């Protein structure tokens, strides 16, 4: 049953629709999101949700998977067909992997959230989705403004040089705004991927930071091997999302080294690269990364999985990720009963040269370990500061993480007074003293 928004609340900027056949779930979602000032509607089934969408402009839809008459995948597919601009999020259980994939393929959902959800996680996901939607709207508005002004320029008289100059300046400013909006959209997209990667690793404390380390080292090796900027970015994104296909695996398999798995357990685990690719199929921007995720468990000698590719038939990005993932996994003990020392982990990689790993990638990896990375152009040397030493304008040179490895802010985030106060507030409520690595823009 639909409910009108609270008239005493401040004027909301976005409208949400929650669809679930359980009234207590709808009440919990409404109670969770009401403080954010959104207009909120609820429906107890897909048909009722479609009725609301016919008469209300809804920015974001959150639907349960299991509902009578029309399940969440069917409902979100109808929403995509008739209201494609509405962001679609699916609530699902760990056991509903097949149905979730159906929803991804047919409903083109933005994200799926496992039940029971974490309040902070789901509110953050919704916030990022709406922020991206706002940036996309702003980008379209600025593009339309640019097209309109260009049309006006064509109609100007050649003798009105001053007017032409004035219009040209307006166009220049508009293009600057458009480029800024596009840059914010790109940064927001990468930040969303980093946050999602962090959420995946929260199931296993020992894996915290694993994907970020893999992504950054793999990108550096890709650049060292001459891959283009776009290809290296695909490697980086794939590194962050390598384990997305493991979401549906039970905890006891995640915490068990691969060498100790039974044949039955291995047959289940080896499916995760394909599941990872399938989970990202609906997102056009991630198609390149998805292909690398599928192939990152192939071996150079052809004995890997899932496609038994060998040698140069394996994408170069996947060959890089295979090596870097194993190296970091060896350091944290994910490949054996205990973590290996760095020198022993390097020996493990060298022993796999020509078998597990591409010899060319092995050489690039060894060179990467042996070289110091210079500071990026336009930046000064990295500094490690405490929160009390921070000042506005400093830029994070590394991801800011908690002691347990959870990401708070991503690399290249520009510190403001508000952000600095939030960092100090986190420390005051028990987060412990943080070391913040920064550089200042020149």
DSSP string, 139-195: HHHHHHHHHHHHHHHHHS-TT-HHHHHHHHHHHHHHHHHHHHHHHHHHHHHHHHHHH
pLDDT at 421: 87
Residues 83, 54: Cα–Cα separation, whole Å: 9
pLDDT at 99: 61
Run of H or E residues at 43: strand 39-43
* Angle of helix 161-201 versus helix 119-155 axis, rounded to 10: 160
pLDDT at 263: 85
Assess contact for 69 and 45: CB atoms under 8 A.
yes
pLDDT at 6: 43
pLDDT at 240: 86
Determine if the pTM surpasses 0.75: no
Assess contact for 235 and 320: CB atoms under 8 A.
yes
pLDDT at 147: 84
Pairing of strands 407-409, 400-401: antiparallel
CATH architecture of the domain formed by 383-440: Alpha-Beta Complex (3.90)
Q: Which residues of the chain have pLDDT under 70?
A: 1-12, 94-103, 105-107, 154-161, 163-164, 166, 176-208, 255, 257-259, 372-380, 403-407, 410, 431, 440-442
pLDDT at 4: 45
Residues 314, 296: Cα–Cα separation, whole Å: 8
Q: What 8-state DSSP symbol labels residue 427? A: I
Query: 15-117: what CATH class?
Result: alpha beta
Q: What is the pLDDT of residues 223-275, one digit of tens each?
A: 999 999 899 999 998 888 888 888 777 777 776 766 677 888 888 888 889 88
Phi/psi for 75 (5° steps) reads -65, -45
pLDDT at 352: 94
Using CB atoms within 10 Å of the CB of residue 362, give its burial: 0 to 12 exposed, 13 to 18 middle, 19+ buried: buried
| Residue 419 neighbours by CB distance under 10 Å | 18
Residues 29, 352: Cα–Cα separation, whole Å: 50
Query: 205-370: what CATH class?
Result: mainly alpha
pLDDT at 176: 61
Pairing of strands 39-43, 383-385: unpaired
Q: What is the pLDDT of residues 160-185, one digit of tens each?
A: 667 667 677 777 777 766 555 545 55
Angle subtended at Cα 179 by Cα 177 and Cα 183, rounded to the nearest 5 degrees? 115
CA 342 to chain centre: 29
Assess contact for 73 and 96: CB atoms under 8 A.
no
């Amino acid at each position: 049953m639909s409910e009108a928004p609270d008239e005493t609340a401040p004027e909301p900027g976005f409208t949400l629709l929650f669809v679930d056949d359980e009234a207590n779930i709808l009440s919990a979602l409404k109670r969770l999101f009401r403080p954010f000032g959104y207009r909120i509607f609820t429906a107890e089934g897909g048909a009722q949700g479609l009725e609301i969408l016919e008469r209300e402009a809804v920015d974001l839809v959150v639907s349960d998977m299991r509902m009578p008459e029309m399940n969440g995948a069917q409902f979100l597919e109808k929403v995509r067909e008739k209201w494609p601009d509405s962001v679609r999020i699916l609530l699902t259980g760990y056991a509903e992997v097949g149905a979730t994939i159906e929803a991804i393929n047919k409903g083109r959902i933005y994200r799926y959230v496992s039940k029971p959800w974490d309040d902070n996680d789901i509110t953050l996901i919704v916030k990022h989705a709406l922020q991206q939607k706002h940036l996309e709207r702003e980008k379209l508005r600025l593009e339309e403004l640019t097209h309109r002004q260009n049309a006006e320029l064509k109609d100007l008289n050649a003798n009105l040089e001053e007017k032409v100059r004035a219009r040209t300046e307006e166009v220049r400013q508009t293009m600057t705004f458009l480029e800024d909006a596009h840059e914010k959209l790109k940064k927001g997209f990468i930040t969303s991927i980093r946050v999602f990667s962090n959420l995946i690793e929260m199931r296993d404390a020992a894996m915290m930071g694993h994907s970020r380390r893999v992504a950054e080292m793999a990108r550096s090796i890709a650049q060292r091997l001459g891959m283009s900027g776009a290809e290296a970015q695909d490697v980086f994104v794939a590194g962050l999302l390598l384990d997305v296909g493991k979401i549906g695996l039970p905890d006891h398999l995640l915490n068990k080294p691969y060498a100790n798995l039974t044949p039955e357990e291995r047959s289940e685990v080896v499916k995760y690269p394909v599941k990872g690719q399938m989970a990202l199929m609906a997102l056009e921007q991630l198609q390149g990364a998805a292909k690398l995720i599928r192939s990152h468990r192939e071996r150079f000698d052809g004995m890997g999985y899932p496609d038994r590719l060998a040698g140069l038939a394996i994408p170069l990005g996947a060959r890089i990720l295979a090596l870097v993932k194993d190296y970091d996994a060896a350091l944290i003990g994910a490949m054996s009963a205990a973590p290996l020392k760095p020198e022993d982990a390097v020996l493990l990689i060298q022993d796999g040269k020509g078998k597990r790993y591409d010899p060319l990638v092995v050489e690039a990896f060894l060179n990467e370990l042996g070289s110091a990375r210079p500071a990026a152009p336009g930046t000064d040397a990295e500094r490690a500061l405490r929160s009390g030493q921070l000042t506005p304008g400093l830029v994070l040179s590394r991801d800011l993480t908690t002691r347990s490895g959870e990401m708070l802010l991503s690399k290249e985030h520009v510190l403001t007074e508000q952000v600095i106060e939030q960092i100090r507030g986190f420390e005051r409520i028990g987060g412990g003293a943080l070391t913040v690595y920064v550089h200042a823009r020149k």
